[in-house]
Amino acid sequence: MGMIPHDADHEHWMGLALAEAREALRTEDVPIGAVLLGPDGAVLATGRNEREALGDPTAHAEVVAIRAGAEALRRRMADDGGESDGWRLEDCTLVVTLEPCAMCAGAIVLSRIPRVVFGAWDEKAGAAGSVFDILRERRLNHWVEVYPGIREDECAALLRDFFARHRG
């Protein structure tokens, strides 16, 4: 098992996720960003909401990062002469600016990601402790360590500003 991340790492990684979230604004997508860190602690993949950009209801930041991370892991293993099914993202860490929804929490569990760091809570659709707690549901076959509230005010402000502009 790899290292347990420290708080300073969480703050830094959330900065990378916030940069991805800001990129989503260019396509009028809700500004949510994600960074998937590999077992070595380096960035394996990034993602941002692309539902508007792609016309894909599943193109949430977490799903985009998980898909890209699985592909990167497969390529890395092939380059090293090994094999990887690509879908087991064991010992990776997912950092996301908003608490994952039920769909994303399910994808996290199914991809075997052991750690999730997130910024703002989602009181309407969150599935990492607010509305549901899929990531720590003991009846499932995989449980996730959750580190909530990292740079929470910054993450929440980005979303608040976006919705104020689009509703006002």
Is 101 annotated as contributing to ligand binding?
A: yes
Contact 78, 72 (CB under 8 A): no
Determine phi and psi for 123, rounding to 5 degrees.
-70, -15
Give me the catalytic one of 20, 50, 62, 99: 62
Q: What CATH class is the domain 8-162?
A: alpha beta
Contact 17, 95 (CB under 8 A): yes
Contact 95, 62 (CB under 8 A): no
- Is the pLDDT at 1 greater than 60? The verdict is no
Nearest to 104 by CA among 70, 135, 140: 135
Length of the chain: 168
pLDDT in tens, 28-56: 999 999 999 998 899 999 999 999 999 99
| Helix segments in the chain, DSSP class H | 7-24, 51-54, 61-79, 102-110, 152-167
pLDDT in tens, 72-107: 988 887 787 766 676 789 999 999 999 999 999 999
Nearest to 127 by CA among 117, 138, 137, 112: 137
* Residue 71 annotated to the active site: no
> Residue 2 has what pLDDT?
42
Is 155 annotated as contributing to ligand binding?
A: no
**Is 35 strand, coil or helix?**
strand
Is 104 annotated as contributing to ligand binding?
A: yes
Query: pTM, whole model, 2 decimals?
Result: 0.92
